[in-house]
Amino acid sequence: GAHTIGQTDCAFVRYRLYNFTATGNADPSISPAFLPQLRALCPPNGDPARRVALDRDGAESFDAAFFKNVRDGNAALESDQRLWGDGATQGVVQKYAGNIRGLFGLRFTYEFPKAMVSLGGVAVKTGRQGEIRRRCSRFN
């Protein structure tokens, strides 16, 4: 759910738009209505560093819209879209996407902070064993 805010580079999206799994076609899990929008942002020979919102409906709003986008085939990242295609995670996506606007969003805003606190208990590598990346996609 953290991808309800933020952006990624076209470099991480483009392969889904033009030659997914070397078929010459787009990723079939992308909504036909969303595909032209992504292609407009990330043309075949465009700037690979161009930014794409992770949440189609508002990359600056922390809400459950991300899950609705995943359910509807509107996820920019393949890893996010696979949450809907996997039986182990589809129910979680549906729970947060909901059917009634706002009802499940309230649950998400309650449960997400609890998950972050839980992750805080994971042993963090420090010193020479770990690093804080300046860019998530690259080692320092």
> What is the biggest distance separating any 2 CA atoms in the chain, rounded to whole angstroms?
48
**Positions at the binding site for Ca(2+):** 4, 55, 63
How far from chain centre, in Å, is Cα 26?
Answer: 17
The number of beta carbons lying within 10 Å of the beta carbon of residue 100 is 7
What's residue 15's pLDDT?
A: 95
User: How far is the CA of 16 from the CAs of 25, 79, 111, 115, 140, in angstroms?
Assistant: 8, 11, 31, 30, 27
**Intra-chain end-to-end CA distance of the chain, in Å:** 26
Asked whether the whole model's pTM tops 0.75, one would answer yes
**Positions at the binding site:** 3-4, 55, 63
What's residue 59's pLDDT?
A: 65
pLDDT in tens, the chain (140 residues): 777 778 899 999 999 999 999 989 999 999 999 999 999 999 999 999 999 988 887 667 777 788 889 999 999 999 999 999 999 999 888 888 876 554 555 577 778 888 888 888 887 777 788 777 777 777 77
**Positions at the binding site for heme b:** 3
The full set of domains in the chain, from first to last, is 2-121 (1.10.420.10)
